Structure 1
Amino acid sequence: MAETQGSDILVSFRGVQKSYDGETLIVKDLNLDIRKGEFLTLLGPSGSGKTTSLMMLAGFETPTNGEILLAGRSINNVPPHKRDIGMVFQNYALFPHMTVAENLAFPLSVRGMSKTDASERVKRALSMVQLDSFRNRYPGQLSGGQQQRVALARALVFEPQLVLMDEPLGALDKQLREHMQMEIKHIHQRLGVTVVYVTHDQGEALTMSDRVAVFHQGEIQQIAPPRELYELPRNTFVANFIGENNRLSGELESHSGERCVVRLARGEKVEALAINVGKPGESVTLSIRPERVRLNGHSESCVNRFNGRVEEFIYLGDHVRIRLEVCGKPDFFVKQPIAELDPALAVGDVVPLGWQVEHVRALDPLTTE
């Protein structure tokens, strides 16, 4: 399978399963190719199988079934330290009794590198994370962000072909976290190393990745570049998990080519893109992003046009979220940049609103509301 795509595949999961009790599969049937040099994020809620998949790749967990290939060779029975993989965890895992430089030199001495070569590598790795002047400090003398940068440098210092990161920014505050996201992204771009990154933070996944694999109940629901995942979700789970999403439940009335008509509970009809629908009469969920809804005069050109009653304004600095009651749904959100907000709009106003057919996706029915 992977061979036909040439040598640009670094990692292949083939039919990989993992069960801890012999009954429940935490990872169901994972088939995934990871390309050389890509930044791939495994994203999903707790218990979705993303961390277990990463740990199998690292060698800390063994697959119950299936095979994992690294650079074309099976690594199922290769111990972690022989896999040529760097690791960065949330808790940094630095040696407290070693200086920053000693922490960085450790993976090199384990690999039998000479002191001269090692000190050259350590110097390079420290400047890469902008910590040259901290080489003689101990981890306890560093801030959380600095410790995380040392952990990152240590994972990169022996120039592995693959770096795995498990929620590495989870313990940092919002501003530092966002700064580190960019740092890691830029280091990745400079080095061209392959990164597999695990997070449950969708914003982080969208910001940093070349591709994102969305996990749910042990299976990949969709794998795609961030923009495609957000704009073109293939099912209701992905639409809800990535970004904010308005959902309207209804049943399929007719289906013709790429488009369909859906009848909502109170009889309103919506024309939508038919992405993942069954037969006429069956339930569907419509997905509309809040920033794609047009208000007042802007809605005149929309095929799907309704009235909504303004229930609440939620001010977020650069934009405002307006909660409306639309088609009997009390929590329908519209997102508007502050510059576009009509200052006369008030709670209780009934306004026309609408959305284009290409911005509403008819997907599988939602199992739990």
Structure 2
Amino acid sequence: MVDAPTGEVLVSFRGIQKSYDGETLIVRDLNLDIRQGEFLTLLGPSGSGKTTSLMMLAGFETPTAGDILLNGRSIKHVPPHKRDIGMVFQNYALFPHMTVRENLAFPLSVRGQGKAEIAERVSRALAMVQLDAFAHRYPAQLSGGQQQRVALARALVFEPQLVLMDEPLGALDKQLREHMQMEIRHLHRHLGVTVVYVTHDQGEALTMSDRVAVFHQGEIQQVAPPRVLYEEPQNAFVANFIGENNRINGQLLSRSGEHCVVRLPQGETVEALAVQVGQPGEPVSLSVRPERVLLNGHSAACANRFAGRVMEFIYLGDHVRMRLEVAGQNNFFVKQPIAELDPELRVGDVVPLGWQVEHVRALDPLTTE
């Protein structure tokens, strides 16, 4: 069971499995607690089971096995419209023949709210997403970002205890997407509503979430706050899927407590944190983030030191990615802020580099998946 760290549990997935053909499990064995008021993101590649898990929580899919509890009660047989859950989709799902105001009023009218109550709640929701001036427009008269705001307001207007978002920003351009990430995050903090968010965009997950659950092949690989997920991945899949990562195959030589020594293919040895390793002699993979690699004199105090040949510079405005050949690998990356870059460095130069023991993790061996 992966428990929510603090606070009252609102949603609990218990032993959830989902299969469409009776053989292949799309979701294998999902055990996850979501606490009240948190922003939890389900992150993973296509086909990893994240959207299916969200749809089972929404009531649009039925689990093959297991149970889902909302406020301690099973919702397995509760229809979607009785679950008190707001939903935001990637395609907005707005009614094209209704104005913005009418779109927002719809969830309230089907719940039998009075006219005065509806008018007040709709006005409040419009103000919340700063669309007061667009109340009488139709969806086709709005930009993509405005339509997404309407969809967001409609999901929040009846004040649900839980809001589910399925790739809600996928159709927006990069700049607008980043703006909407902040908008949604600020709304979440302001309202205190529980949000379960699905995305395959790791940057979006790290930016917005209190915790992130990383899915792969129907199972959660790790669930943790963004910083922990990035700095302390528990296996090779998480290390490679979250952020940029240097991956080096090796063989475990020895282990002593939390530390271990790994031999690389060309005979060099690396001292690393032993996170997920087997017995000496067995294969492991090493994970080192590009920004943790130190160059030239900065590497002098590092326990792990190598020589690297500069192969390529990739200019990215505020920082530069350098591709180097290190320990027989020609796709080893180092990331440096522009202000720290040595202006004399050229392609072909051989430079000393290194990293500290606490910044290299020995994990399970990489697979070809």
Q: So what's the TM-score if we normalise by structure 1? A: 0.98
Is the CA contact 2:251–2:283 (under 8 Å) kept in the aligned structure 1? yes
How many angstroms does 1:367 deviate by?
1.0
Q: Do the aligned partners of residues 343 and 3 (structure 1) sit closer, same or farther apart at CA in structure 2, a change above 3 Å counting?
A: closer
CA contact 1:259–1:273 (8 Å) conserved in 2: yes
Q: Which residue of 2 aligns with 1:130?
A: 130
Structure 1 residues 189-200: aligned runs within 5 Å: 189-200=189-200
Residues 124 and 14 (structure 1), Cα distance of their counterparts in 2 relative to 1, 3 Å cut:
same
- Structure 1 residue 66: Cα displacement: 0.2
Q: Which amino acid aligns with 2:360?
A: V
- What residue number does 1:142 align with? 142
Q: CA deviation at 1:362?
A: 0.2
Q: Deviations over 1:7-40 (max 9, x none)?
A: 7000000000000000000000000000000000
2:349 & 2:217 partners in 1: Cα distance?
Answer: 42
For residue 351 of structure 1, give the secondary structure of its aligned residue in structure 2. Answer: strand
Distance 1:189 1:118 in 2: 24
Identity %: 82
SS at 2:63 equivalent: coil
Hey, what does 1:246 align to over in structure 2? 246
Deviation at 1:67, TM superposition (A): 0.2
Give the distance between the partners of 2:182 and 2:162, measured in 1 at CA.
Answer: 19
- 1:56 paired to 2:68: no
1:368 Cα deviation after fit: 1.3
Corresponding position of 1:237: 237
Cα deviation digits, residues 150-179 of structure 1 (max 9, x gap): 000000000000000000000000000000
Q: Is the 8 A contact 1:277 1:362 kept in 2?
A: yes
What SS class does the counterpart of residue 146 from structure 1 fall into?
helix
Q: 1:257-268 maps to which residues of 2 (within 5 A)? A: 257-268=257-268
Q: Deviations over 1:247-290 (max 9, x none)?
A: 11100000000000000000000000000000000000000000
CA contact (8 A) 1:103 1:154 kept: yes
Asked if 2 retains the 8 angstrom alpha-carbon contact of 1:17 and 1:63, the reply is: yes
The equivalent of 1:157 in structure 2 is: 157
The 1:265/1:54 distance shift into structure 2, 3 A limit, reads same
- Within 1, Cα distance between the matches of 2:7 and 2:190? 21
Write the letter of the residue equivalent to 1:25.
Answer: L
Aligned match of 2:42: 42
User: In structure 2, what is the equivalent of residue 216 of structure 1?
Assistant: 216
Task: Give, in whole Å, the separation in 2 of the partners of 1:290 and 1:79.
Answer: 48
Counterpart contact for 2:3–2:33, Cα < 8 Å: no
**How far is 1:339 from its partner?**
0.1
User: TM-score, normalised on structure 2?
Assistant: 0.98
Deviations 1:102-130 (A, max 9, x none): 00000000000001000000000000000
Q: In structure 2, list runs of 5 or more residues that go unmatched.
A: none
Aligned pairs for 1:1-369 (under 5 A) are: 8-368=8-368
Give the distance between the partners of 1:72 and 1:244, measured in 2 at CA: 39
Equivalent-residue separation in structure 2 for 1:2 and 1:176 (angstroms): 34
Question: Structure 1 pair 94/246, CA: closer, same or farther in 2 (3 Å)?
Answer: same
Say if 1:89 and 1:165, in contact at 8 Å, map to a contact too: yes
Counterpart of 2:197 in structure 1: which amino acid? Y
Amino acid at match of 1:66: G
Residue type of the alignment partner of 2:363: L
- What number of residue pairs does the alignment pair up? 369
SS of alignment partner, residue 10 of structure 2: strand
Does structure 1 conserve the Cα–Cα contact (< 8 Å) formed by 2:67 and 2:74? yes
CA contact (8 A) 2:84 2:160 kept: yes
What is the alpha-carbon distance in structure 2 between the residues aligned to residue 3 and residue 353 of structure 1? 40
d(CA) in 1 for partners of 2:26, 2:334: 37
Superposed CA offset, 1:35-59 (max 9, x none): 0000000000000000000000000
